[in-house]
Amino acid sequence: MKEKTEIEKLREELAYNPKNGSVTLTADELRRADEFCEEYKDFLNNGKTEREIVAESVKLAEIAGFKPFEKGKVYQPGEKVYRVNRGKSILLAIIGSKPISEGVRLAIAHIDSPRLDLKPNPLYESDELAFFKTHYYGGIKKYQWTTIPLAMHGVIFLKNGEKLEVRIGEEDDDPQFCISDILPHLGTEQAKKPLGTAIPAENLNILVGSRQIADEKGNDLVKLNVLKLLHEKYGIVEADFLSAEVEFVPADKARDVGFDRSMIGAYGHDDSVCAYPALMAALTCNNPGHTAVTVLTDKEEIGSEGNTGLNSSYMKYFIYDLADMQGVKGRDVLTASQCLSADVNAAYDPNYADCFEKRNSCYLNKGVCITKYTGSRGKGGTSDASAEYMSRVRSLLDRKHVLWQIGELGKVDVGGGGTVAKYVAALDVDTVDMGVPVLSMHAPWEIVAKIDVYMAYRAFYEFFLD
Ligand code: MN
Ligand code: MN
């Protein structure tokens, strides 16, 4: 290797120049990143909705020695507990060796992703085709959800109260579902419309059948055939949909992307790509000093509302219960606590360079991204992490050789977004957003780089043990 010039040395010493991990990581680190992502792909395929991800997380946690948290019981340092909130969010804790009055270390990711929910009364027939009406959930570009294979996930309660868990379209011999679109030959008028209005939400109707029940006169014979099949297979009647939670998601499995297999394409990276590393950090972190808490929460994509979203008190109550165990005030624990709000950021996309400000964007393969603030129109609606806390997190990552970068969500005037960080900060907890850069965020198939996924895990893990 040739000797560095003075200028090169100065540049290295003085200038911020985030490194591309594919060049700077050792072969061993790259191998570990690839191995970590093999299990991440399984996690993606096993859970596409918040309920499925909670169930999968419980399974993995129990294998790792976690037990359901019993309020009032006194746990010893090193003990591992979890609490499930209504089947849609989960909290996991490893009791620390330090008194809980010194605060807990929180990693919080969300496990709901943009998708198509069924309307309460979804099934109808139109011109001898049967459809489900949908109401989309979260921020989607509606045109992306037509003409792709969809799978049906959810829970349906029968009239007698029996709960059915449904998952159709993921196995090789399952049927799948689809939303049709007009052919280009007849799409002249549609093509003139802006992308945001070309596909109205009421056109997001899922094709679910086309054969009539019998050669008879009468209305809705295709719909009736669908109802008959559903009843035969599941015992469902039409009114059972009124109380159901049914979600249609892309039916694809997670796959490697690129000749170099450096990336993963999948549905639900936002935010499984942070949820899985945060979960694995909890599952692999033994005997932390501070009590380590991972929270996988619901409803982030629609504003963290409801009793399973982070704007509710469920996380606060869990911390209070941990505090009670040591006779400490819950609010004092929160005030002393620190949090990584684990959520994705938009990776710089050269195809849409106009939307990004290059110097403050995050990039694939440059490691886990710290986002000091989110928000829109002048930091509106964000928790802006303090310089003190930024400095602490930054020096931790450097000390532990975790590849990381800084990132804002695009150019200031082009839009914006938010995360759960502000709800955590509202509890008087030091919080900053940290997560994985994603290409095509909120699309049915999102892209991440394996190096960044692994660095997210390493960041949460080191944070728990620091
Ligand atoms: Mn997110
Ligand atoms: Mn999102």
Instruction: Give the pair of three-digit tokens for residue 317.
Output: 């109550």
List C-alpha distances in Å: 128 to 205, 210, 216, 218, 222.
Answer: 14, 6, 13, 11, 6
The bound ligand whose nearest atom lies closest to the alpha carbon of 274 is 1
Q: What is the distance in A from the centroid of ligand 2 to the CA of 433?
A: 13
Distance CA 118, CA 134 (A): 4
**Confidence bin at 215 (pLDDT 50/70/90):** confident
Same domain, 155 and 301: no
Least confident of 15-19, 75-79, 81-85: 15-19
Asked whether residue 268 carries a pLDDT value surpassing 90, the answer given is yes
Same domain, 271 and 171: no
What is the pLDDT averaged over residues 143-163? 97
* DSSP letters spanning 294-323: EEEEB-GGGTS-STTBTTSSHHHHHHHHHH
Q: What is the distance in A from the centroid of ligand 1 to the CA of 345?
A: 8
pTM: 0.97
Q: What is the distance in A from the centroid of ligand 1 to the CA of 305?
A: 14
**Total domains present in the chain:** 2
Q: Considering the domain boundaries, does residue 261 fall inside one?
A: no
**Ion ligand 2, residue ranges at CB < 5 A:** 270
pLDDT of residue 2: 77
Same domain, 290 and 402: yes
pLDDT of residue 338: 98
Distance CA 138, CA 46 (A): 21
List C-alpha distances in Å: 112 to 141, 220, 427.
Answer: 17, 35, 22
pLDDT of residue 445: 98
Least confident of 40-54, 58-72, 193-207, 404-418: 404-418
Asked whether residue 3 carries a pLDDT value surpassing 90, the answer given is no
Q: What is the distance in A from the centroid of ligand 2 to the CA of 343?
A: 8
Distance CA 143, CA 126 (A): 21
pLDDT of residue 333: 98
Kind and range of the H or E element at 119?
strand 115-126
Q: Considering the domain boundaries, does residue 257 fall inside one?
A: no
The three-state secondary structure class of 5 is coil
Asked whether residue 236 carries a pLDDT value surpassing 70, the answer given is yes
Q: What is the distance in A from the centroid of ligand 2 to the CA of 276?
A: 15
**Ion ligand 1, residue ranges at CB < 5 A:** 270-271, 343
Distance CA 285, CA 403 (A): 19
**Confidence bin at 1 (pLDDT 50/70/90):** low
Least confident of 7-11, 44-48, 332-336: 7-11
Q: What is the distance in A from the centroid of ligand 1 to the CA of 333?
A: 26
Q: Considering the domain boundaries, does residue 99 fall inside one?
A: yes
Q: What is the distance in A from the centroid of ligand 1 to the CA of 128?
A: 39
Mean pLDDT of the chain: 96
Kind and range of the H or E element at 266?
strand 263-266
Same domain, 314 and 457: yes
Q: What is the distance in A from the centroid of ligand 1 to the CA of 407?
A: 15
What is the pLDDT averaged over residues 250-269? 97
What is the pLDDT averaged over residues 227-233? 96
Q: What is the distance in A from the centroid of ligand 1 to the CA of 202?
A: 25
Q: What is the distance in A from the centroid of ligand 2 to the CA of 299?
A: 10
Same domain, 187 and 313: no
The bound ligand whose nearest atom lies closest to the alpha carbon of 140 is 2
Q: Considering the domain boundaries, does residue 370 fall inside one?
A: yes
Q: What is the distance in A from the centroid of ligand 2 to the CA of 93?
A: 25
Burial class of residue 292 in the structure, from the number of CB atoms within 10 Å of its CB (0-12 exposed, 13-18 middle, 19+ buried): buried
Q: Convert the pLDDT of each residue in 422-461 to its tens digit.
A: 999 999 999 999 999 999 999 999 999 999 999 999 999 9
The bound ligand whose nearest atom lies closest to the alpha carbon of 114 is 2
Q: Convert the pLDDT of each residue in 357-389 to its tens digit.
A: 999 999 999 999 999 999 898 998 899 999 999
What is the pLDDT averaged over residues 121-142? 98
The residue range of the domain holding 390 is: 6-113+267-465
pLDDT of residue 252: 85
Same domain, 187 and 274: no
**Confidence bin at 406 (pLDDT 50/70/90):** very high
Provide, rounded to the nearest whole percent, the portion of the chain with pLDDT above 90. 94
Q: What is the distance in A from the centroid of ligand 1 to the CA of 419?
A: 6
